Structure 1
Amino acid sequence: MWLLSYILPVVRLYLVGVKVLIYQLFNKPFTLPALPRRKGRVAIVTGGAKGLGYETSRHLASLGMHVIIAGNEDEEGLAAVKKIHQETIQEKVEFMYLDLASLKSVRQFVRRFESRGLPLHVLVNNAGVMLVPEQVTEDGFELHFGLNYLGHFLLTNLLLDALKNSGRSGSCSRVVTVSSATHYGGCLSLNDLQGRSCYSPHGAYSQSKLALVLLTYHLQERLQGQGDAVTANAVDPGMVDTALYEHLCRPAQMAKRPVAKLLFRTPNEGASTAIYAAASPELEGVGGLYLYNGRKTESSAVSYDKRLQTQLWAKSCDLVGLQKA
């Protein structure tokens, strides 16, 4: 039974991966349309110093946005800021420390941001870890669930007032959350969110990405119900050649190298859908979407379960110490 519980998430994840690669073999990557300048708008990009996050930060800065790269490695973050400044000399880009594996750090980040008195028009929940060996966060949560999901859940909720205050009719603020096709193979048990009954890094990663889609849909429903000028969408970057795959098993690592050169998207191509969701006029006022390769796509059947969305939201509020209302 234990062996089956461990193997099934592995099989699901790799089957999803094969389907994505077949799609990418026969379909060109999404090409960003020309986007208007967004001077005066402020964006926060978690994990914005490398990979998809860096490409997202760089492009939003090129549109005139004031971009705040949020990450947990100072040297890496400052190097990213310097590099973007060299490309976009007159634009505002800066680094602020944020460790999503620490709820204390999330709260400190929000307090520092609020003390600046800046508006907030775009939040890109991009940072994440994948297939790491079993670890826990500073607060004792399983790492994938704690960093990929709970850290972003708390960050988004604490920044909602800033997003609401900055949004206007015809110029909504936007929450863009990076999920993954692996959510299609994800299972979510509210009684075992930490995977303690049988830990599988593959299952933990898929669950965290499913949780992010559930969060997006429920958040959009709440915002729409309250009449707030904020939208929430989830994006799927596809399979992208980044450092996220460093924890693959050795046979998978060996197979990945030649396959990645042929079929994986580049970080710039992978980031295009997140950039589109963050800045395209075509998505003005539109939320509750799952976007893949620049198009609205159906997410997994379970992700539309409103009862599960509500229960996960309530459970998450308890875990991070937020009121449910």
Structure 2
Amino acid sequence: MPVCNVFTNPKFWKTFFLENQYSYDQIPDLTGKTAIVTGATGGLGYATVVALAAHGAHVFLACRSRDRAEAAIERAQADILQLQFDHPEGHYPSSSSSVAEKGLTQNQQRPYPYQSSTFKPKLEFLELELGQMDKARSAAEVFLARGLPLHILVCNGGIKNRDFELTPDGYENHFGINHLGHFVFTTTLLDRIRSSGPARIVILASFAHEMPSSSRPIPFDILRNSTTNQATLIRYGQSKLANVLFAKALARRLQGEQVWVNIAHPGCTDAQIHMAVEENKSSSCFYAFSRLWLKTSYPVKEAALTQLYCATAQEVEIKDLRGRYFIPVANEMRPNPVSENVALQEELWTFSEQAARGEHGSKL
């Protein structure tokens, strides 16, 4: 059973016992930077938006619903304003040690943008439908038409544990939304990102990328088959493996350029686990581990730190970290060895380009 395979993998449990390597008070001043966060209206995406905007970035919330985005923007503005009252001394809420213990200098403790009484967060909605490749491309083109640089792209959006169905483009829904939509959106923006460097691209993955079989990690031949009977978690895991493969292939293409691509596994948040328990009531294995799992879960703000590390940490550029896989919080780990197969990375890239051009024909 796939979920039991996850729980019995030592690498899964290791993620809960490592020290945090990044904190909110280490995020640099992002004034003048432009960022896009997909799936930005709640959870990890929303926490990422608030952190980037509070530190001065102009942030686009890329998602489907204008109403939800506008509500999230209003909430984010209020949350950032509250920071001015809760932390007037300049220390953004941190889940780790103090500034002094992190070895930061007094100069690095200068006031953050949100502390100014005149500070107004720059937050905008960008309509993005990841489930349809032509709409993902159109969303990128709308942004490009603004003429703005793009310094940070966080590919955070996606779906999980959904019943099987095909996207309007005819692909299994997890693969279509979690991978193909982001592939098209990112590659359409790529020249702008390159010209904006130094820049970051962060691809959100999951420990679930460890689940697919090493002998047939991504079954390209059945991704458009409406009669497939693969388990939901396997299909989700394949989409997350595709995220890792894509990030590694992209990082290789950008080697030597001023664009750093990395992969973040945010860990399991307490909210996600409560939802997963409801979705997997029939799994005795899941139920047996759920209580322990909940005790080792992360609050959303803390879980978002790994993707924020990839998006903002100065050491990413100093150490030239490219195509690396990070687990909570900002700890590097070797991903599924299958993801390091360059031939598979290139097979996925070619398949994705063909999908984006509509070359795979009709549904099976």
Q: Give me the TM-score of the superposition, normalised by structure 1.
A: 0.87
Partner of 1:3: none
Aligned length: 308
Alpha-carbon contact 1:233-1:288 (below 8 Å) kept: yes
Q: Secondary structure at the match of 2:60?
A: strand
Q: Judging by fraction of residues, say which structure has more helix.
A: 1
Q: 2:80 aligns with which of 69, 80, 88?
A: 88
Aligned equivalents of 1:13 and 1:192: distance in 2? Answer: 24
Alpha-carbon contact 2:15-2:327 (below 8 Å) kept: no
Aligned equivalents of 2:294 and 2:243: distance in 1? Answer: 29
Q: 1:179 aligns with which of 189, 205, 217?
A: 205
**Larger deviation, residues 106-115 vs 308-317:** 106-115
Alpha-carbon contact 1:21-1:264 (below 8 Å) kept: no
Alpha-carbon contact 1:30-1:272 (below 8 Å) kept: no
Unpaired runs of at least 5, structure 1? 1-6
Flag the 1:242–1:151 CA change in 2: closer, same or farther, 3 A.
Answer: farther
Aligned equivalents of 1:229 and 1:22: distance in 2? Answer: 32
Partner of 2:90: none
The Cα of 1:295 is off from its aligned counterpart by 1.7
Larger radius of gyration: 2
Answering whether residue 258 of structure 2 is matched by residue 229 of structure 1, we say yes
Partner of 1:307: 343
Q: 2:134 aligns with which of 104, 108, 111?
A: 104
Alpha-carbon contact 1:21-1:263 (below 8 Å) kept: no
Q: Secondary structure at the match of 1:48?
A: coil
Aligned equivalents of 1:54 and 1:163: distance in 2? Answer: 22
Q: How does 1:1-325 map to 2 (within 5 A)?
A: 7=1, 9-16=2-9, 20-21=12-13, 23-24=15-16, 26-32=17-23, 34-88=26-80, 90-167=120-197, 172-186=198-212, 187-194=217-224, 196-224=227-255, 227-243=256-272, 245-246=275-276, 248-251=279-282, 258-259=291-292, 261-284=294-317, 285-293=320-328, 294-321=330-357
Alpha-carbon contact 1:13-1:202 (below 8 Å) kept: no
Deviation per CA, 1:39-96, whole angstroms, max 9, x where unpaired? Answer: 0100000001100111111111111100101111222211111111123351201122
Alpha-carbon contact 2:131-2:167 (below 8 Å) kept: yes
Q: Secondary structure at the match of 1:239?
A: coil
Flag the 1:207–1:47 CA change in 2: closer, same or farther, 3 A.
Answer: same
Alpha-carbon contact 2:40-2:62 (below 8 Å) kept: yes
- Give the CA RMSD over aligned residues: 2.3
Q: Secondary structure at the match of 2:163?
A: coil
Alpha-carbon contact 2:166-2:224 (below 8 Å) kept: no
Unpaired runs of at least 5, structure 2? 82-119, 360-364
Alpha-carbon contact 1:29-1:265 (below 8 Å) kept: no
Aligned equivalents of 1:265 and 1:194: distance in 2? Answer: 35
Alpha-carbon contact 2:27-2:312 (below 8 Å) kept: yes
Q: Secondary structure at the match of 1:233?
A: strand
